[in-house]
Copies of this chain bind each other. A is one copy, B any other.
Amino acid sequence: MRSPASLRADFVDHVVIPTRWEDVDHYGHVNNVSYYSYFDTAVNGWLIERTGTDIRGLDAIGIVAESSCTFLGSLDFPQVVQSWLRVDRLGTSSVTYAIGLFVDADERPRALGRFVHVYVDRITRRPVPIPELIRQVVGTLVIAGRDEAGRQEQA
């Protein structure tokens, strides 16, 4: 997770997410759970905006198969989080996103995440190929030479 590819320049595009009052927990910083809400919101919001389509209505929907986060710095309220995105693996049915959360002009991330969507049939919930509409936009988040092409397809 603490790969070299962790500065803002190592990501492709971003979504802006303001923190909320209730994100802050007893310890006076944004609770770890909320970071995952930012991941979820960034990926799905970006997909809806870029495809110009309500992806929730497609026959194939992306559900989360795995996710992880390394917490490197705290977030507070009010604060505007820049959730930067990159795709590290674009498989037949799955997309592996790398996500970096940044604040202000700081080049170092407050958190680095991994977020794996597997596309499944809306009804049967069995894996199906990534819809072409989504594959096209997701492809723009792949950094040439960074696709983990050697890894075996998961789903």
Contacts and interface: CB of A to CB of B under 8 A. Distances in A.
The A interface, classified by DSSP as helix, strand, loop or mixed, is mixed
A31 B27 contact: no
Contacts of A36: 32-33, 36
Contacts of A77: 26, 41, 44-45, 48
A18 interface: yes
This chain: copies in complex: 4
Contact of A49 (B34, B40, B78): B78
B18 A78 contact: no
A154 to B, nearest CB: 11
Contact of A41 (B21, B65, B114): B21
Given A18-B45, A22-B34, A68-B68, 16 more contacts: A1-B66, A21-B25, A21-B37, A22-B41, A24-B25, A24-B26, A25-B25, A26-B28, A27-B61, A28-B56, A29-B63, A33-B37, A41-B78, A48-B78, A66-B71, A67-B69
Contacts of A1: 66
Given A48-B78, A65-B71, A68-B68, A22 B27 contact: no
11 contacts: A1-B66, A20-B41, A21-B26, A21-B45, A32-B67, A33-B36, A33-B40, A41-B77, A49-B78, A63-B71, A68-B69
Given A18-B17, A26-B28, A67 B68 contact: yes
Interface of A: 1, 16-18, 20-22, 24-29, 31-34, 36-37, 40-41, 44-45, 48-49, 56, 61, 63-71, 74, 77-78, 114, 125
